[in-house]
Amino acid sequence: MNFFGGFKVTFAKLFEDRVTSQYPSVKRPKPERFHGRHVLGRYEDGMERCIGCELCAGVCPARCIYVRGADNPPDSPVAPGERYGYVYEINYLRCIHCDLCVEACPTEAITESKLFEFSFTSRDDAVYTKDELLVGDDGQPQRLAWEDWRPGDDQHTSGWMRATSPSGSAAWEGRAAWSAELGYGVRAPELGQSAEAAPDPEEPSGHDAAKHP
């Protein structure tokens, strides 16, 4: 019979550390691959990455993404290639932050930030338009007035760069297989997965710059 064992347990808890963190004033660091609100990226030359292909809208299980593509104006193209995302809207009352849109995107245009603390006073406010999602001229995500950005929250806005083995091949571990972004250049792979990566005999050169120091 261990009837009194329970009393010992609760009494011992008195002297243990508390698990509570004082949330609004003290925030715990978020995980590296946290799924927050989306960011639309740009290439290093300032061109938008989105080509308006609607693959993200197609794959979205919550149907929260609305995309309409349009032909690039020939004299001042918005995105490289024929088409660009003319309308891009995400409804955050529906989004489940599954990141399937990020995986579906062929141009690494849509990625997720670590931001999850934002609230709205009306349903219309919950629909983020392209103006709000697109990174600024410096390549940084826009810090909207109703969002609570903390230092470091913008460091992992590119979800694509976190895929350390993009083709599913271990041989690609530690290789940056993604293109450069505005404001960041080519981002290095994550620490920990790249450090142990042995040099690939098939491709002896060309990616050294991307390796994590």
Partner 1 sequence: MNVFALDPAYIGGFGLDEALILIVKVIAAFAMLMVAVMLMIWFERKLIGDMQNRIGPALAGPWGILQTLADGVKLFFKEDLIPAQSDRFVFKLAPYLSLVPAVIVFAVVPVGGNFTTGDGTVSWWGNATYLQVADPHIGILLVLAMSSMAVYGVMLAGWSSGSKYPLLGSVRASAQMVSYEAALGLSLAAVLLSAGSLSTHDIVAGQGGYDWNLWVTGIVPFAVFFIAATAELNRPPFDMVEAEQELVGGFHTEYSSIRFALFFLAEFMNVITMSAIIVTLFLGGPDGPILTEGAAWLWGTVWFLLKLMVFLFIFVWLRATLPRMRYDQLMDMGWKVLIPLSLGWLLFLGALSIGRDRGWPDAAVIAVSVAALAAGGLLLRAAVRAGQAERQATEAAAAGQPAQGGVRP
Burial class, 99, CB count within 10 angstroms (exposed 0-12 / middle 13-18 / buried 19+): middle
Q: Is 196 in the site for partner 1 (CB under 8 A)?
A: no
Q: Which is nearer to partner 1, 28 or 123 (CB)?
A: 28
Place of tokens 């995986």: 103
Q: Is 26 in the site for partner 1 (CB under 8 A)?
A: no
Q: Which is nearer to partner 1, 10 or 205 (CB)?
A: 10
Q: Is 23 in the site for partner 1 (CB under 8 A)?
A: no
Secondary structure (3-state) at 9: helix
Q: Is 20 in the site for partner 1 (CB under 8 A)?
A: yes
| The token pair that represents 108 in the structure block | 């690494």
Taking CB under 8 A as the binding criterion, the range among 19-27, 80-88, 92-100, 145-153 that sits at the site for partner 1 is 19-27
Q: Is 18 in the site for partner 1 (CB under 8 A)?
A: yes
Contacting residues for 91 by C-beta, under 8 A, at least 6 apart: 64, 65, 66, 126, 127, 128
In the complex, which residues of this chain contact partner 1 (CB under 8 A)?
6-7, 9-11, 13-14, 16-20, 22
